[in-house]
Amino acid sequence: MSPGAPSDDAVLAAALESDRAARRLAQSEFERPLVLEAGAGTGKTTTLVARILAWCLGPGWEKNRALLAERAASRGNDPPSPEQVAAATLQRVVAITFTEAAAAEMAGRVGLELAVVAGGSTPVWLAAELLPEADERTRRARALAGTLDRLVVRTIHAFCRGLLADHPLDAGLHPEIQVDADGRLAEQAAREVITAHLAAGYGEPGDPAFLALAAEGYGPEALATTLTTLVSQGARPEDFDEDPLSADRVAELQKRVEAALEPAARTAAPLAAIGKRSTKTLAAVAALETTSRVLAAADARISPVEDLERLCQTVSTSWNEAAFERLRDWAKGSVNPSEAKLLDDPGGLVQAATGLAPLLRHLLSLAPRRLADARRVLVPLLAEVRHQLRTRGVMTFPDLLLEARDLLARRPGVRRRIQRGIDQLLVDEFQDTDDLQTELLGLLALEGTDDLRPALFLVGDPKQSIYGWRSADLAAYDAFLDRVRDANGRVEILAENFRSVPAILDEVARSVAPVMVEQKGLQPAFQPLVACAARAEDPGFAEDPWATVEHWVTWRAEDQAAGAPGGATTRAADSVVLEAEALARDLLRLRRQHDVAWSSVGLLLRGTGDLDDYLEALRRAGIPFAVGRDRHYYRRREIIEAAALVRVVIDPGDPVALLTVLRSPMVGVPDAALIPLWSRGFPRLVAELRLEELERVVDAAAATLPAGVPGLERLAGWPRALLAALHRLAELRASFR
């Protein structure tokens, strides 16, 4: 610890004091935007529920009672009843959660805690001094509990659907919105559009872009799948207006590559003198030299697509796996002693490799011609699919957000009406948000005058942002927090943990804090957590010989006995098996000595690659277990193909499903045979099951295939397999009827 730096105890004490102040703000600050960054186990849901109760029992009740009383007086009516005030207060509170389960949990918690207050008690976490006297508090809680159905607790998608359903004409939408929750309607529309374009795309003379994609294995089934994916992700045709392969963009990329390549080649040149055993180093040096030479000798421009295709081919042929792996190592700062002796500036090589490696990785993943063909084919098809879905009132989940955003942005009058109907806007799990969602929240809670917009309350933990695959974006999170501060809002931290014992929290801090370095927009700073008072002296499970926290390192005893340091010669696969067996023995001993229930044991793995080894060890030990299943089961190739077979049986007019079955291992028709088959009316004949004509068509198509098609020899028996499959299809259709 540096001189003058606060002690760990002082830091934790300050964190606790700040935590308590933040929790009080959650129940008292109802004017300015407020964000609470709440670490794991700090009671995020309880804090949200506390805010809802504090508002509804206190200032919210007073505000809505005054509004209703004023309205009643102006009309000569009686003062509002407690139930009327309760309903008006609750319906102006909107809580947005990330999942439907979380929404149900929050609504249930609010109802449960209102019942507690209605019974004359006050939860310890609810600041009673901020609320009315006990009798009045009880009376209000009873009225609120009786009208709890007015509270709006929804996922962001459900909330947006409600906005659109209330304003369909303003949004320019079908009056009856149908949400395509499982993507089936989008898939159906995509297949209809693809089917309508089969003749133009693959017939005579055919569309060059369609045919080029099919030649690379991206036929109708792939196009339908891609269209469905684009729709499910909210893509619109206008998103592709800007050409990614324009002359300016390609020229800019080439300049960046050349600018990054020159210093890398120059600083690495002395490594050509390294020993022949340094094969990866020599491969990287040769790749740098070859790439530089080819680019310097490149001809004048042909077209942007061809220029980029040539650049990608140069990189692909010059950089094998060994060369690129060494470049990546340099970019990570790994320069070995042999290399360092030959280099004038090892740091310069690291810097140059850091700039070049991501560019080469990008080029290795690019297929410019395919990208150009895909853009030409898919964008018009996407427009047709979008038109069909919009006409039918079908929307995907991203569509709900996009259309709601457009409604709020383009119709300020509608936005103001919506804002007037909300007093408190609460958002849970805010770390899992993205640009679109933050834009929506900003339009609702940060636009307009202070007296118009609702009070905003956000709870999230950027350290727990795990939904990057759903577009969760820490840059969007950080940018929105800046907007909150600009709007005179506050960002506070919850640090008191109610879940874990000190030993676990200390180990998390020891392990994570040194490597969790803040990078704005990418990585939040580490925030230590403090065990709550009830757990402050709890040692956790520490019954000899077990410790609360243990680190296991596994190797074979004979490897260590043979002199290998730390079992360095034990293969990783053997280590996994040994660890699994040791784990099973440990669990049996825990069960025997401490009667630990199997249901209280959880085994978390970073991946499922080694899962079978652990399950086998548990089976042999007689330990019962349940395994969480792979959520991507229905995306497996064999499941997709089986589903396509079912569609072919029950829907003779589905040519895309037919293509999937033909290309699957069940039949094995080569891609080169698809166009000859289709041009001879194959889909129609299959739909009608005209087997004799199908035999002639298959023979004719097989006769047209050139002998030099790569890989065709491995599928030499495909005509017989296809005819057998067609006869089997006839049997299946007959049995289905």
pLDDT tens per residue across span 695-736: 999 999 888 887 666 666 777 788 888 999 999 898 888 886
Residues 545 and 189: their CA atoms lie apart, in Å, by 62
* pLDDT at 486 exceeding the cut of 90: yes
Q: Are 142 and 240 found together in one domain?
A: no
Widest pairwise Cα distance in the chain: 99
Reply yes or no on whether the pLDDT at 22 is more than 70.
yes
Beta strands 530-531 and 496-497: pairing type? parallel
Higher pLDDT, 90 or 430: 90
178 neighbors 395 (Cβ within 8 angstroms): yes
Residues 579 and 678 grouped into a single domain: no
CA distances to 125, 447, 476 from 484, in Å: 26, 11, 12
What DSSP element (H or E) covers 169? helix 168-171
**Which of 120-134, 576-590, 671-685 shows the lowest mean pLDDT across its residues?**
671-685
- 201, 210 Cβ separation under 8 angstroms: yes
Q: What's the whole-number mean pLDDT along residues 503-518?
A: 87
Q: Quick check: is 293 in a domain? A: yes
pLDDT at residue 522 tops 80? no
pLDDT of residue 715: 73
pLDDT at 243: 94
Domain boundary among 451, 478, 512: 512
pLDDT at 708: 62
- Are 50 and 147 part of one and the same domain? yes
pLDDT tens for each residue of 441-469? 999 999 988 888 999 999 988 877 654 44
The pLDDT value given to residue 600: 92
Q: Is 260 among the domain residues?
A: yes
Show which of 481, 512, 543 is a domain's final residue: 512
* 382 part of a folded domain: yes
pLDDT of residue 339: 92
Same domain for 689 and 727?
yes
592 and 653 fall within a common domain: no
pLDDT at site 580: 94
Residue 537, helix vs strand vs coil:
coil
* Domains of the chain: total: 4
Distance CA 160, CA 404 (A): 6
CB 117 within 8 A of CB 137: yes
SS (H, E, C) 448-505: CCCCCCCEEEEEECHHHCCCHHHCCCHHHHHHHHHHHHHCCCEEEEECEECCCCHHHH
273, burial (CB in 10 Å: exposed 0-12, middle 13-18, buried 19+): exposed
732 CB-near residues (< 8 Å, 6+ apart): 649
On the question of pLDDT at 564 being above 70, the answer is no
Q: What is the mean pLDDT of the chain?
A: 89
User: Both 579 and 478 in a single domain?
Assistant: no
- Do 244 and 305 share a structural domain? yes
Same domain (yes/no): 666, 615: no
The mean pLDDT value for 45-73 works out to 96
Most confident of 148-152, 517-521, 538-542: 148-152
- In this prediction, residue 629 carries a pLDDT of 59
Question: Which pLDDT does position 476 carry in this prediction?
Answer: 85
* 590, 621, 652 - which closes a domain: 621
Sign (positive/negative) of CA torsion 612, 613, 619, 624? negative
Q: What are phi and psi of 37, to 5 degrees?
A: -90, 110
Q: What is the structure's pLDDT at 636? A: 64
| Average pLDDT for 234-262 | 93
Helix axes 412-420, 397-410, angle to 10 degrees: 100
- Residue 122 and residue 44 in one domain: yes
Same domain, 132 and 43: yes
Higher per-residue confidence, 573 vs 84: 84
pLDDT of 688 strictly over 50: yes
Distance between CA atoms of 437 and 443, rounded to whole angstroms?
A: 10
Reported confidence tier of residue 671, pLDDT bands at 50, 70, 90:
confident
Domain enclosing residue 232, as ranges:
196-388
257 vs 559, more confident = 257
Same domain, yes or no: 98 and 149? yes
Q: Does residue 179 form part of some domain? A: no
Distance CA 14, CA 585 (A): 43
| Confidence tier at 345 by pLDDT (50, 70, 90) | confident
- Supply the pLDDT for residue 469: 40
What is the pTM (predicted TM-score) of this model?
A: 0.75
Residue 190 counted as domain residue: no
Q: What is the residue whose two structure tokens read 């089936």?
A: 184
Domain identity same for 653 and 687 = yes
State the residue for tokens 């309350």. 457
Which segment of 250-254, 569-573, 599-603 scores lowest on mean pLDDT? Answer: 569-573
**What backbone torsions phi and psi does residue 390 show, to the nearest 5 degrees?**
-65, -40
Helices (H) and strands (E) in the chain, counts: 32, 10
Between 417 and 562, the more confident residue is: 417
User: Following CA atoms 561, 566, 569, 573 in sequence, which dihedral angle do they give, to the nearest 10 degrees?
Assistant: 120
pLDDT class of 102 with cuts at 50, 70, 90: confident
Nearest of 132, 41, 163 to residue 494 by alpha carbon: 41
d(CA 394, CA 231): 11
In a domain, 173, yes or no: no
Tokens of 522: 């990418």
Query: 592-631, pLDDT tens digit by residue?
Result: 999 999 999 999 888 777 888 898 999 999 999 888 755 5
Residue 300 is predicted with a pLDDT of 58
Q: How far apart are CA 193 and CA 704, in angstroms?
A: 29
Q: Are residues 155 and 148 in contact, defined by beta-carbon separation less than 8 angstroms?
A: no
State pLDDT tens for residues 289-320.
Answer: 999 988 887 665 678 999 899 899 999 999 99
pLDDT value at residue 468: 47
pLDDT of residue 559: 63
Residue 205 covered by a domain: yes
When mean pLDDT is compared across 53-67, 82-96, 534-548, the lowest value belongs to 534-548
d(CA 204, CA 217): 19
CATH of the domain at 432: 3.40.50.300
CB-CB neighbours of 364 under 10 Å = 12
Share of the chain above pLDDT 70, in %: 94
Using DSSP bridges, classify how beta strands 490-494 and 34-38 pair: parallel, antiparallel or unpaired.
parallel
User: Which of 132-141, 402-411, 554-563, 648-657 comes out lowest in average pLDDT?
Assistant: 554-563
Task: Look at residue 563 in the predicted model and tell me its pLDDT.
Answer: 53
Question: For position 696, what pLDDT does the model report?
Answer: 92
Structure tokens at 39: 């670490």
The structure tokens 């395994």 sit at 627
In a domain, 466, yes or no: yes
Q: Half-sphere exposure of 589 toward its Cβ, with a 13 Å CA cutoff? A: 10
User: Chain centroid to CA 387: how far?
Assistant: 27
Structure tokens given for 291: 């790439």
